[in-house]
Structure 1
Amino acid sequence: MGLSRKEQVFMALLGASGVAGLTALILFLVEAASVLRPTDIKFGIVFDAGSSHTSLFLYQWPADKENGTGVVSQALACQVEGPGISSYASDPAQAGESLQGCLEEALVLIPEAQRRKTPTFLGATAGMRLLRQKNSSQARDIFAAVTQALGRSPVDFWGAELLAGQDEGAFGWITVNYGLGTLVKYSFTGEWIRPPEEMLVGALDLGGASTQITFVPGGPILDKSTQADFRLYGSDYSVYTHSYLCFGRDQMLSRLLTGLVQGQDCAFDGVYQPPVRGQFYAFSNFYYTFHFLNLTSGQPLSTANATIWEFCQRSWKLVEASYPGQDRWLRDYCASGLYILTLLRDGYGFSEETWPSIQFRKQASGVDIGWTLGYMLNLTGMIPAEEPAQWWAQSHSVWVATVVFLVLTLVAVLGAAAVQLFWVQD
């Protein structure tokens, strides 16, 4: 005996619900893809306490790192009002209070929930090195005042310390090469790759109280005290670096230079240095002075020399008339220009042939050049990485189809239930 009309409808609805449900299940399981949720953003603050002024830099990077090192970008650069912290020897408390304005600017950009997790560091350079040599107790008082001020701020304060000249040079080298993409680069295939070592750039820094040179030499570094080693993005680096205290621009202007005697494998002051090699970025006061003199466009050494001497031979009235509103630094540009020529040529050993390898720059790919970003890059290697959270996701079209089949399944089941109900009642 064949099935009745109601039985046929019931079986059809039951079969339809089974097919629709199975299709929805297949779409959900087979088409779903494992994707990574966006990682949290971490932040870090570094104060660069130089001899003439202090600057704050706020950096950020994704919580998941690339080969053990955060991919760091600059979020804020703020110059602290007033002189460098070494100038507050007679009133140490003011050294700490002077930092609050820039710190408040940085906190605005950091989500409140992350402020207590934001590592904050103050590094003092040559100005405080000189003060420590002259009066160590005054230097300690300033560091204590800075530590107290930053320690009560809503951040994870790691400490205030004197940055070694070698570290200042090495971290500046890291900053330049990171900005230029010569340490790690994102390829067209969607992978992070390490560019050839030949692309690495040397770093020339001229601050107020010291100057640094850092580069990868062509052979072994004979004096190991001038060698810095570090690991970034899964690769090891070894560079020559040296810092000359009291040979910064401001220190040079306050005294007559002596001892610029160059010999084989020697820069000046009897310091060992391999011959300069490769491309260099010259920043800080190297850049500011040559930018004023319009010498940052790759001019040869002879042109730089002629331009500086021509400027120095102008009358003071003509100089003032030619550069209105620049009284603060105007009197120093002649001496600074001559010093830079002497330092680079007779001190560091750049010749007419190697001079074109120097680029005078303030930034590298939009990042301010200095030691702070290099320090933060190195610092992120000590911050635990967070694995990106995974979830299951579907494309929009597959998601819509899945929902449709689930609805059809529900309709078919309800229809079968209704037929069954009417069947029983009959």
Structure 2
Amino acid sequence: MGLKRPASCFSALLWLVAALLVILGITGIVLVNQPNEYYCNPQEYAVVFDGGSSHTSMAVYQWLADTITEYGTGVASQLAFESSCGEAGISSYADDPEGLVPGFEKCLETASLVIPEYSHAKTPIFLGATAGMRLLNVTDPDKSDAVMAVVRETLASSPFHLPYEKEQATILRGEKEGSSSWISANYLEANLGVEPATGDVIHDLSPSEPIPVKPTFGALDLGGASTQVTFIPDTPGDVPDEYLANLRLYGHEFDQYTYSFLCYGANEARRRFEANLVKDSGFANVTLNPCSPVGYSYELTGDYLWKAPCSKGPIAMEGWGSETTSAPGVSEDDMEVMTYTLKGTGDAKQCYNLSKTLFDFDAKCDKPPCSFNGVYTPLPHGSFKALSTYAYTAVGIGMPSKPTIEEFNTAGDDFCVKTYDELKNLPDKMKYKVTYCFQIMYIKALLFDAFKFDASNWEIDFTLQVNDVDLGWLLGFTINATNWVPLEQACVGINSSTSIGLLIIFIIILVVGLLLLLHKLYRECLAVEGGESYQRAPSKPADKA
């Protein structure tokens, strides 16, 4: 009996396997043959974060997959925009990287709501960190790496597609930022050979047919820690390779001049300007500031003036060509507690003249023409869009978006003479209003003295939006990314080829199960017949003695 037990167990196991295969095969065949609605979303999406020096924002873009096939580049539109994904730029979290997580999670939740759930896993997500992180990466690489690590972990925990963490969440080169802003402005103005998609309805996303390429706009972008200038010069062939960016968009080639001036953003320029004022006053307790309104006084610490990356060290030398000078005999510890009072005088002319001293117009110019600091910059050619702080400042001082030179100069002069009490009656937050005089005079020095705008080439639109879409580098970055990011459509249901494959598999499973059952039945029948034959066989007679 002990020898027969394993065979009995094995036989029962075969019965069970055969039965399960038959059940699985029949169930699979029935399910595959059920009515099935197979649908692939014609829209594709991308989530893009702007990790700026003073803020973090997020945009969600969409485009029809067919437009990449037709034009080689996605015809994208903005689906959603969050202007604040935290209280400050991500470089501000150098000492507490985890502090950026709540702001990011808020914006990721918005993206999750506006993108269909079945498209989440196919939707790429990006973050480009700009000048603030470029500075931190040079001055304190460990802290920079820690911030970027938390950023990548946070994005990876989202439902979106992040296969290449370091490539998709990275610190952008300034030239990439400027080039992307140029794409944004020209795409929205229909200069690149397609009508831009501006709606969120599917049939509004794709143009009916290509259109002729039109003259492009230059892009002037002024951030907190850097400024970029990007345009197609009158003679692109004369541009040295290190200043040239080649783009292929919608089947057309574009050769741009682009350059990013690190430390020449509005915030860092103001810091350098104030440090120079304090130094030139002999480090007096009270320093007069011609760029601040009459009736306004404020305090700055030595820490703020002299310890920032653009104030001292390799970044200051690279950007400005010099370091700010701290008070004689002041130690690093003393800087944190030392304060200086700056008092506004509201003098537009002096503000402008002192702003010009921030630029080294006499630096050696190896390849003319140069703007400042010996940097090759072609003369302006064509129309320009002035973005970011350019546009915010224009709105803040009440200047027309497309001013004449006279209107530009008048708006700046009129604003700078307003007293602090008069500013109280104007819209906007006071912390911004007290900076607008410096910013417009700094912009004036940039445009007239550095980039050589004058009456013969002045055609600038100070704008924050085109067709109700926010301008900046995010849209242009996304459009360019559709050229090289491998994307797959998100589909729901089972397509016909998959259905046929599954049907064949389940039929094979059913046939195997049936063959096992037949085999077992046949063996059982043989066993039964053998047993009966054994019972019917006559006994041999006993031998006689």
TM bucket (normalised to shorter chain) is 0.7 to 0.9
Note if contact 2:269-2:358 (Cα within 8 Å) is conserved in structure 1.
no
Higher relative contact order (CA 8 A, sep 6+): 1
Deviations 1:8-64 (A, max 9, x none): xxxxxxxxxxxxxxxxxxxxxxxxxxxxx9961111010000000000010000111
Helix, strand or coil: the match of 2:272?
coil
Cα distance in 2 for partners of 1:270, 1:160 equals 32
Note if contact 1:169-1:241 (Cα within 8 Å) is conserved in structure 2.
yes
Matched, 1:134 2:139: yes
C-alpha displacement of 1:253 = 1.2
Unpaired segments of 5 or more residues in structure 2?
Answer: 1-38, 197-206, 274-356, 492-545
Write out aligned runs for 1:197-236 (5 A). Answer: 199-219=215-235, 220-236=237-253
Cα distance in 1 for partners of 2:488, 2:129 equals 31
C-alpha displacement of 1:203 = 0.4
Instruction: Report the counterpart of residue 194 of structure 1 in structure 2.
Output: 212
Which structure's residues are more often strand, by fraction? Answer: 1
Unpaired segments of 5 or more residues in structure 1?
Answer: 1-36, 390-426
Helix, strand or coil: the match of 1:176?
helix
Matched, 1:125 2:225: no
Matched, 1:372 2:388: no
Instruction: Report the counterpart of residue 119 of structure 2 in structure 1.
Output: 114
C-alpha displacement of 1:231 = 0.8
Instruction: Report the counterpart of residue 163 of structure 1 in structure 2.
Output: 172
Matched, 1:331 2:434: yes
C-alpha displacement of 1:314 = 2.4
Helix, strand or coil: the match of 1:266?
coil
Code of the residue aligned with 1:183 in structure 2: it is L
Note if contact 1:267-1:273 (Cα within 8 Å) is conserved in structure 2.
yes
Structure of greater Rg: 2
Instruction: Report the counterpart of residue 311 of structure 2 in structure 1.
Output: none
Instruction: Report the counterpart of residue 146 of structure 1 in structure 2.
Output: 151
Matched, 1:251 2:244: no
Note if contact 1:68-1:385 (Cα within 8 Å) is conserved in structure 2.
no
Note if contact 2:239-2:257 (Cα within 8 Å) is conserved in structure 1.
no
Cα distance in 1 for partners of 2:184, 2:428 equals 32
Note if contact 2:86-2:102 (Cα within 8 Å) is conserved in structure 1.
no
Code of the residue aligned with 1:77 in structure 2: it is F
Instruction: Report the counterpart of residue 405 of structure 2 in structure 1.
Output: 301
Structure 1 residue aligned with 2:255, among 238, 249, 254? 238
Code of the residue aligned with 1:367 in structure 2: it is V
C-alpha displacement of 1:241 = 0.3
Write out aligned runs for 1:243-322 (5 A). Answer: 243-256=260-273, 258-261=358-361, 264-320=368-424, 322=425
Instruction: Report the counterpart of residue 62 of structure 2 in structure 1.
Output: 60
Note if contact 1:89-1:139 (Cα within 8 Å) is conserved in structure 2.
yes
Deviations 1:120-143 (A, max 9, x none): 000000010111121111101000
Distance 1:59 1:268, change over 3 A: same
Deviations 1:250-302 (A, max 9, x none): 11111125234177511111100111100000010000101122223432223
Instruction: Report the counterpart of residue 411 of structure 1 in structure 2.
Output: none
Aligned-pair identity in percent equals 38
Helix, strand or coil: the match of 1:335?
helix
Instruction: Report the counterpart of residue 47 of structure 1 in structure 2.
Output: 49
Cα distance in 1 for partners of 2:50, 2:402 equals 29
Cα distance in 1 for partners of 2:54, 2:47 equals 20
C-alpha displacement of 1:386 = 7.3
Cα distance in 1 for partners of 2:428, 2:409 equals 26
Note if contact 1:221-1:240 (Cα within 8 Å) is conserved in structure 2.
no
Cα distance in 1 for partners of 2:59, 2:402 equals 29
Deviations 1:400-421 (A, max 9, x none): xxxxxxxxxxxxxxxxxxxxxx
Superposition TM-score, scaled by structure 1 size: 0.77
